[in-house]
Amino acid sequence: MILWLAGLQGVPQHLYEAADLDGANPWHRFRHVTLPMLTPYILFNLIMGTIGWIQRFTDIYVMTNGSGGPLDSTMVPVLYLFNNAFQYFKMGYASAWAWLIFLVILILTAVNLYASKRWVYYEGDRK
């Protein structure tokens, strides 16, 4: 929430004033002023959310006692890695899973950053 608040406070007031002079209603001000200025924050939250989603562990481990639920229905990659490392003592296999998770996160982050060139607006950026 602090990041969103910082982003909202970082939108220059003169852009809202210019939109008002042009006759923009509140929806147009949000769509054409606020939202483009918040796209770097949206990108950051998208990447951090993706990483957090892939690395989800604690709540599933607590809910299922580390078993992954009935018939492995809540088995996520990090829980699978943890079980192989510390329950079955297959450290090499768990290490390979860690590298695989790292590569998936790296690829998804790179795809997000590459795609962001089309929709993220940076105020000082010259094209």
Q: At 83, phi and psi to the nearest 5? A: -65, -40
23-64 tens-digit pLDDT: 999 999 999 999 999 999 999 999 999 999 999 999 999 999
Q: How confident is the model at residue 127 (pLDDT cuts 50, 70, 90)?
A: low
82-125 tens-digit pLDDT: 999 999 999 999 999 999 999 999 999 999 999 999 999 987 77
